[in-house]
Amino acid sequence: MDYRIASIKGDGIGPEIVTQAQKVLKAVGEKYGHGFEFMELLMGGASIDVNGVPLTDETVEEAKKCDAVLMGSIGGDTRTSPWYKLEPSKRPEAGLLGIRKALKLFANLRPAYLYPELKEACPLKEEVAARGFDMMMIRELTGGLYFGERYTKEIDGVMTAVDTLSYNEDEIRRIAIKGFDIAMKRRKKLTLIDKANVLDSSRLWRKVTEEVAAAYPEVEYGVMLVDNCAMQLVKDPAQFDVVLTENMFGDILSDEASMITGSIGMLPSASLNETKFGLYEPSGGSAPDIAGKNIANPIATILSAAMMLRYSFDLDKEADAIEEAVKKVLKEGYRTIDIAAPGQDQVKCDEMGDLIAQRI
């Protein structure tokens, strides 16, 4: 089977880590008889440098012609990069928001799994890390504060900024259904994270999600306030299976969940629409301070490629092969700098890609 993949390498370490994921996919193709064609596209700062904008209509149209999108990291140093002297709508991250909207990617999936071999890199207490954790963070992507009306203007002589948080029941219901469907394939537990003691939008989330829960009697359904969830993630992450939440809360909590694994460089993500089409990217940022040094951890991007095989192409066996190859490499003691314990041998970004590809 042949697949056409839109490859958006992006900024910072993006080109380095996406190249390693492509290397692993080619190894999968050779073993299992698939062809992966990569359509190289620009977005973010790389697009600004060439096209003057972070996302062009041409990039969106080319992406739509592909079977999925594999992406690196977007953005640069907000203090020094000329990209951040532009108005917000023309900065690198605007391209990311734009492509999510254009491709109707409403559900962001971020697994957070603590590999036994990396327990020493986990920043939590030893007894907490010893219990391990395996959760799926599901974040709504196209609504909420990030897409609501916003403005900054002088009101009664005082500069005032306004951001609008808005959700309708249809937006909530479709991602709640996605969350419960995924929970059915896991440990059958889903926790809705909100701020229903304060926000009207959160109260609507509770109402609609409770209605959806009634159709999934096998799933244990619970709710938790976002501030409590932030504490529980560092106190007892093993309690969570599927975590469902809105856009901004999900943005914050999923980064917290990824860091307690020991390194954000280990965590993949998928953004899905209502078909099998998805955009797959690492959870971490562009890390401009280490860009070009060949020391970035490519595992999150490689595991994102595995998610692509699983969720967009229905190639579960091939996805399993990538995940098992990652586990083998870690068990053999290979580490990039971000996950290496003191005195442990370190490998470069491209060496990690080679090691995983060889074990497919």
Q: Which of 56-70, 219-233, 286-300, 331-345 has the lowest mean pLDDT?
A: 331-345
Catalytic residues: 146, 195, 227, 251, 255
Q: Does 23 share its domain with 146?
A: no
Residues 239 and 273 in one domain: no
- Total number of domains constituting the chain: 2
In the listed set 208, 229, 260, which residue is the last one of a domain according to the structure? 260
On whether both 61 and 90 belong to a single domain, the answer is yes
Looking at the structure, do residues 3 and 51 belong to the same domain, yes or no? yes
Residues 217 and 296 in one domain: no
154 and 78 assigned to the same domain: no
Same-domain status, 69 and 168: no
Of 206 and 266, the structure prediction assigns the larger pLDDT to 206
Let me know whether 242 and 359 are in one domain. no
Q: What is the pLDDT of residues 30-56, one digit of tens each?
A: 999 999 999 999 999 999 999 999 999
For 81-138, what is each residue's pLDDT tens digit?
999 989 888 999 999 889 988 999 999 999 999 888 888 778 888 888 888 899 999 9
Higher pLDDT, residue 174 or 284: 174
| Residues 330 and 356 placed together within one structural domain of the fold | yes
Q: What percent of the chain has pLDDT over 90?
A: 77
Domain that holds residue 309: 1-117+267-360
The per-residue pLDDT for range 310-344, each reduced to its tens digit, is: 989 999 999 999 999 999 999 999 999 988 878 78
Domain boundary among 230, 260, 290: 260
The Cα 186–Cα 183 span in angstroms is 5
- Whether 243 and 287 share a structural domain: no
Strand partners, 36: 3
* Cβ proximity of 249 and 194 under 8 Å: yes
Q: What integer pLDDT is reported at residue 247 of this predicted model?
A: 95
- Same domain, residue pair 233 and 111: no
Angle among Cα 230, 236, 242 to the nearest 5 degrees reads 70
Query: What's the chain's average pLDDT?
Result: 93
| CB-based contacts of 188, cutoff 8 Å, min separation 6 | 218, 219, 220, 241
pLDDT at 238 over 90: yes
CATH number of the domain residue 273 falls in: 3.40.718.10
In this prediction, residue 277 carries a pLDDT of 93
